[in-house]
Structure 1
Amino acid sequence: MRILIVDDHVIVREGIGRLLAALDPVEIVEAETTHQAMALFRRLKPDVVVLDINLRDGSGLELLRRMRQEDPRARVVIFSMYSDVVYATSARRAGALGYVSKSASSDQLLLAVRRAARGDTYVDTAIAGEIALTAMSPAEHTNQLSNREVEILRMLADGKSLSDIADTLGVAYKTVANTCTRIKEKLGVDRTADLIRFAIENRHLRAVPLGSAGEKS
Structure 2
Amino acid sequence: MASKAATKILIVDDHPLVLSGCRSLLESLPNVDILGEVTEKSGFSAFQRHRPGVTIVDVNLPDLSGLEMLRKIRKTDPEAKVIMLSMHEDPGIVVRALELGAQGFISKSDDPATILKAVRLVLEGETYLSGTLAQSIAFSTKRLKGSKTAQLKDRELEILRLLSKGYKISEVATALDLSYKTIANTTTMLKQKLSAKNHADLVRVAVEANLT
Counterpart of 1:67? 73
Counterpart of 1:57? 63
Structure 2 residue aligned with 1:98, among 98, 104, 112? 104
Q: Distance in 2 between matches of 1:135 and 1:74?
A: 28
CA deviation after TM superposition for structure 1 residue 133, in Å: 3.8
Counterpart of 2:41? 35
Instruction: Provide, for residues 116-138 of structure 1, a one-character-per-residue CA deviation record: whole Å limited to 9, x for no partner.
Output: 111211101101122234569xx
Q: Distance in 2 between matches of 1:125 and 1:3?
A: 23
Structure 1 residue aligned with 2:53, among 47, 63, 84? 47
Q: Distance in 1 between matches of 2:119 and 2:58?
A: 14
Instruction: Provide, for residues 38-94 of structure 1, a one-character-per-residue CA deviation record: whole Å limited to 9, x for no partner.
Output: 111111000000110111111000100000000001100111101121111111011
| Structure 2 unpaired stretches of 5+ | 1-6, 143-212
Q: Distance in 1 between matches of 2:50 and 2:141?
A: 36
| Structure 1 unpaired stretches of 5+ | 137-217
Q: Distance in 2 between matches of 1:88 and 1:23?
A: 26
Return structure 1 stretches of 4+ with deviation > 2 angstroms.
Answer: 130-136
Q: TM-score, normalised by structure 1?
A: 0.60
Structure 1 residue aligned with 2:133, among 127, 135, 153? 127
Please state whether the residue corresponding to 2:113 is helix, strand or coil: helix
The alignment yields a C-alpha RMSD, in angstroms, of: 1.4
Instruction: Provide, for residues 104-149 of structure 1, a one-character-per-residue CA deviation record: whole Å limited to 9, x for no partner.
Output: 002221111111111211101101122234569xxxxxxxxxxxxx
Q: Distance in 1 between matches of 2:30 and 2:23?
A: 12
Provide the aligned length of Structure 1 versus Structure 2: 136
Q: Which is greater in Rg?
A: 1
Q: Are 2:11 and 1:9 equivalent residues in the alignment?
A: no
